[in-house]
Amino acid sequence: MAKKRGNNEGSITRRPEGRWMAQVTIGRDPATGKPKRATFYGKTRQEVADKLTKALRDKQQGIFVAPHKLTLGEWLDTWLWEYKQPTLRPLSFDHYETVIRRYLKPALGHIPLQDLRPEQVQRYYNEQMQQGFEASTLRHHHVALSQALALAETHTLVARNVARLAAPPRLTRKEHRTLTVAEVTTRLLPALKTHRLYAAFLLFVSTGLRRGEVAGLRWQDIDGQAAVLHIRQALVRKKNHAIGRTELVAQEPKTAYSRRTIPLPDICQAALRHHRAQQAEEKLRLGPGYTDQGLVFCGANGAPIDPGTLDRAFSKALKRAGLPAVRLHDARHTYATWLLEQGVSPKVVQTMLGHSSIRITMDVYSHVSLDLERQAAATLNAVLTRGLQ
């Protein structure tokens, strides 16, 4: 016969085979709202009573951990596939999946989840840094591990999130090499002039679009009369986990700020008209073999173009022009730098780039903002000097 216990004190019963069992409610399942109970077994009533007493004390102190045999690797998989996949965009999910599969699980996945210690996480960060990983990359590892352990803590699978007690490497901001107006107009664009996607590269340096935004641009997104283009989708390469291969997919802009309208300079409109005429010739030449998907920039047969193809063409053009090897994404930095140097409001630059906050814009282009601040200080100095004369 079980001894009667008070509310929230748990229960102790004897099972038919003779073992004793204690149970206590430890919270509610956030998914179902139903009570979650921890169960303990023992050969004697005193044994399970002691376990129950400890569990109640730990629960009161906020350090209770439900008994389980999960490894860190098993929990990372559960966190990724059951909790993150339904909410993440495909590229973000692929990023987390790669970090967990290639790095966190091989190094730490075998450790029982309850036994993971801060120094083990710290050692992982230190070893990865010694192997040449950049601090920014390891920050992504830290985010994945910390979020997974935070959820484990919520579910009382661990007493604390030990990732919070480790120190990921500090980020150091890199200055991006930007091209000057002269380098772009007299060397880069002439090197790209004969490329069938010349208009795409002109858009990069004159609108600051992202690679996927250019690759996903459709003719219906361009308003020639209003001289604007609308960013409504981006083309990205994501992994199809069902078949184990990557594929190109169109997806909506990541944020409301990324969905934007950008004015088209006259030089871009002229290049786009020439490009459309060239595309019409390709359609006629290929006939039924051409698959028209309405894309502005595509393969000669109408198929979507991989953003990586644009990267390679850009790199070759830089080499031909004798320019430094910068990333295609740095054309976006070049565009923003030009605008800021011309005195365009940072708020306007933020909107045109599709940044979610002006802080991101000014953090990335801090070297330009410092120049603008110096100009402002010089202007104020001139006003004060005149006033004191």
- B/e letters for 35-62, b = 16+ CB within 10 Å, e = fewer, are eeebebebeebeebbebbeebbeebeee
Whether 329 sits among the annotated catalytic residues: the reply is yes
Residue 225: exposed, middle, or buried by beta-carbon count in 10 A (0-12, 13-18, 19+)? Answer: exposed
Whether 84 sits among the annotated catalytic residues: the reply is no
Give the alpha-carbon dihedral of 233, 236, 241, 247, to 10 degrees.
110
Whether 57 sits among the annotated catalytic residues: the reply is no
Whether 257 sits among the annotated catalytic residues: the reply is no
Please state, in angstroms and as integers, the Cα–Cα distance from residue 18 to each residue in 10, 12, 283, following that order.
19, 13, 81
Whether 176 sits among the annotated catalytic residues: the reply is no
Contact 369, 342 (CB under 8 A): no
Q: Which of 36, 105, 195, 329 is catalytic?
A: 329
Q: Which of 365, 367, 374, 386 is catalytic?
A: 365
Q: Which of 45, 239, 276, 283 is catalytic?
A: 239
Could you give the CA distance from residue 179 to residue 67 in angstroms, rounded to a whole number? 59
DSSP 8-state assignment for residue 175: P
Q: Which of 232, 275, 332, 333 is catalytic?
A: 332
By C-alpha distance, which of 297, 247, 321 is closest to 91? 247
Whether 239 sits among the annotated catalytic residues: the reply is yes
Q: Which of 141, 155, 210, 333 is catalytic?
A: 210
Q: Which of 59, 141, 211, 355 is catalytic?
A: 355
Backbone CA torsion sign across 326, 330, 333, 334: positive
Instruction: Give SS3 for 354.
Output: coil
Could you give the CA distance from residue 145 to residue 162 in angstroms, rounded to a whole number? 9
* Alpha helices for 62-180 (secondary structure H): 72-78, 90-99, 105-108, 118-130, 135-154
Residue with tokens 């979610």: 356
Residue 317 CB-half CA count within 13 A: 28
Contact 233, 250 (CB under 8 A): yes
Could you give the CA distance from residue 50 to residue 53 in angstroms, rounded to a whole number? 5
In angstroms, how far is the first alpha carbon of the chain from the final one? Answer: 100
Could you give the CA distance from residue 166 to residue 378 in angstroms, rounded to a whole number? 45
Catalytic residue numbers read: 210, 239, 329, 332, 355, 365
